């Protein structure tokens, strides 16, 4: 039998599990640990795998003629980093890890088989693709012309909606996925500009900064700075098993 490589070494591939849900080894899924700064795909490279972010943060970007990076999206757990592998032979963007983490990998051929054989997975991939396009449109529409405060506020609003939890005092808190240098890279600003902008937002009472947490104190006011409206793309529709692939893979390799 074919062998799948997981974090704990080779495991034999198995047939699909009972109940109609795909088994991780049977469909060619495996976890891969990744480090900060590690590329998942480079622009122009063949797209041989679909990568689903299980842990950590990553971002998608294109490089301009002078090697300046244009950010397309910041990626959080359960995001599909390279969903376009279902359609494109070569990447028209790059994806790089911002923090250490892990990704679920599935070959392009196996991903297409999943989409064909499992309606729930097909619906999940369709939803993830919609999320990709919605976020990409927001970035393209706003970041090209926004000021440093607008860009920073835009990213903080997005992270608050996608990662945040109520802090019990009327704010929304989340673990900062990026350092000042990371924010500068994502937003095409200098670290000095990022530090100054964050201090301005804090002085205005819009955000509170701690070593391990960012708290959005006044989300509506921060949205006005960002001019980004209401982020709603992360609310998945009913009965769409976004986590099925992750759960199956974790059971296989836990």
**Domains present along the chain, CATH in parentheses:** 3-141+238-253 (2.60.120.10), 148-226 (1.10.10.10)
For residue 44, what is the DSSP state? T
Exposed, middle or buried: residue 60 (CB in 10 Å: 0-12, 13-18, 19+)?
buried
Confidence of residue 47 (pLDDT cuts 50, 70, 90): very high
Backbone angles phi, psi at 104, to 5 degrees: -90, 125
Which sign, positive or negative, has the C-alpha torsion 133, 225, 231, 205? positive
Long-range contacts, stretch 114-120, CB < 8 angstroms, 24+ apart = 114/22, 114/27, 114/245, 115/86, 117/22, 118/20, 118/21, 118/22, 120/239, 120/240, 120/241, 120/244
- Cβ neighbours around 89 below 10 Å, total: 9
What are the CA-CA distances from residue 235 to residues 128, 199, 210, 231 (Å)?
11, 31, 27, 9
What is the pLDDT at residue 96? 93
Confidence of residue 233 (pLDDT cuts 50, 70, 90): very low
**Higher local confidence (pLDDT), 92 or 138:** 92
- Looking at the predicted structure, is the pLDDT value of residue 218 above 80? yes
Confidence of residue 141 (pLDDT cuts 50, 70, 90): low
User: 42-56, 161-175, 191-205: lowest mean pLDDT where?
Assistant: 161-175
DSSP helix/strand/coil, 3 = strand
Confidence of residue 63 (pLDDT cuts 50, 70, 90): confident
- Looking at the predicted structure, is the pLDDT value of residue 110 above 80? yes
- Looking at the predicted structure, is the pLDDT value of residue 244 above 60? no
- Looking at the predicted structure, is the pLDDT value of residue 122 above 60? yes
Confidence of residue 42 (pLDDT cuts 50, 70, 90): very high
Q: At what angle do helices 191-203 and 180-187 cross, to 10 degrees?
A: 100
Buried b (16+ CB within 10 A) or exposed e, 197-233: bbeebeeeebbbeeeeebbbbebeebbebbebeebeb
């Amino acid at each position: 039998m074919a062998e799948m490589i997981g974090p704990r070494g080779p495991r034999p591939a198995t047939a699909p599990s009972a109940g109609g849900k795909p088994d991780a080894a049977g469909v060619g899924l495996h976890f891969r640990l990744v480090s900060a700064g590690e590329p998942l795909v480079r622009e122009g490279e063949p797209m041989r795998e679909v990568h689903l972010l299980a842990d950590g943060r990553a971002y998608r970007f294109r490089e301009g003629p002078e090697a300046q990076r244009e950010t397309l999206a910041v990626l959080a757990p359960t995001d599909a980093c390279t969903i376009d592998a279902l359609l494109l032979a070569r990447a028209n963007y790059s994806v790089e890890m911002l923090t250490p983490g892990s990704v679920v990998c599935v070959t392009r051929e196996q991903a297409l088989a999943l989409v064909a054989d499992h309606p729930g997975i097909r619906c999940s991939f369709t939803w993830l693709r919609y999320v990709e396009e919605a976020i990409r449109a927001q970035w393209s529409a706003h970041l090209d012309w926004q000021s440093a405060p607008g860009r920073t506020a835009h990213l903080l609003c997005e992270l608050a909606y996608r990662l945040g939890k109520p802090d019990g005092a009327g704010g929304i808190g989340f673990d900062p996925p990026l350092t000042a240098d990371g924010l500068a890279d994502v937003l095409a600003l200098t670290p000095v500009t990022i530090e100054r902008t964050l201090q301005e937002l804090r002085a205005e009472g819009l955000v509170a900064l701690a070593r391990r947490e960012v708290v959005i104190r006044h989300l509506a006011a921060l949205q006005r700075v960002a001019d980004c409206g209401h982020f709603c793309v992360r609310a998945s529709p009913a009965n769409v098993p976004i986590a099925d692939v992750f759960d199956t893979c974790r059971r296989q390799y836990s």
